[in-house]
Amino acid sequence: MKQFIQYFKGPLLPAKLMLILLILLTILESVDVLMTADKQLSFAITPINNTNLASTTLSNQASLVATPRLQVKTDNWYHLLVLDNQIGMSPLKALSLLIVYVCSLLALFRLNQDNFFQTDVSDLLAAAAVALILYFLIERYTHRSFREDVLSLTNQQYKLAHLNHTWMLWLGIGLGWLSRFMKRGYLLQQEQNLTI
């Protein structure tokens, strides 16, 4: 019991609680998406000929702009697995984020708050990095495969908007770098322990 309580003490408690909350929210959203019967792919689109989007002026300094979204019915299991839909995030994105959250939580539980390099958490950080980078590449490729479909469905008036998920790539690269840093620190700590 004391060891269990020890896991939840210290300055890393808010991070641990936040990761537990993110894991629960991601699982709940995934269950909601998977249990819904009539899913449609949802794409952000932009006009090709730079026509002004419908906007409502709220004041002299602000206006509300409607961003169009295209919803497409499909029976293709791969597209439903990889791409976001009108209900929430795709199952593959949820799985990637769950891998990141669980690996991060396990790394925080393994870390010794007095000496970060006493235990090796580099494998967990590397797994999280790979999950983010792989999802980014798979989603980007699949999303781009819909360019012609969107043009034909909208009579050449709209095109796919760019994905805003490059943060996943950069976070994956950052976690990969942190993984190497933690591995090097762990090996140096082990070497130092042997010389003492």
Q: pLDDT tens for residues 22-78? A: 999 999 998 888 888 888 888 888 888 766 667 777 788 887 777 788 888 888 889
Q: Is residue 141 a part of any domain in this protein?
A: yes
55: helix, strand or coil:
strand
Q: Is residue 154 a part of any domain in this protein?
A: yes
Question: Are the C-beta atoms of residues 135 and 93 closer than 8 Å to each other?
Answer: yes
Q: Is residue 2 a part of any domain in this protein?
A: no
Q: Is residue 93 a part of any domain in this protein?
A: yes
Q: Which of these, 163, 166, 135, 161, lies nearest to 150 by C-alpha position?
A: 161
pLDDT of 154: 87
Question: Are the C-beta atoms of residues 36 and 87 closer than 8 Å to each other?
Answer: yes
User: By residue range, what is the domain housing residue 184?
Assistant: 9-195
Q: Is residue 73 a part of any domain in this protein?
A: yes
pLDDT of 104: 92
pLDDT of 43: 86
**In terms of C-beta distances under 8 Å and separation of at least 24 residues, what long-range contacts does 159-168 make, across chains too?**
159/45, 159/46, 159/48, 160/43, 160/44, 160/45, 160/46, 161/43, 161/44, 161/45, 161/46, 163/139, 165/136, 165/139, 165/140, 166/136, 168/96, 168/132, 168/133, 168/135, 168/136
Q: Is residue 17 a part of any domain in this protein?
A: yes
- Is the full-model pTM beyond 0.95? no
pLDDT of 2: 62
Question: Are the C-beta atoms of residues 100 and 167 closer than 8 Å to each other?
Answer: no
Q: Is residue 28 a part of any domain in this protein?
A: yes
pLDDT of 118: 87
The residue ranges of the chain whose pLDDT is under 70 are 1-10, 50-53, 196
Q: Is residue 80 a part of any domain in this protein?
A: yes
Domain count for the chain, please give it: 1
Residue 28 burial (CB < 10 Å; 0-12/13-18/19+)? exposed
pLDDT of 180: 95
pLDDT of 3: 59
CA dihedral sign, ordered 128, 133, 136, 138: negative
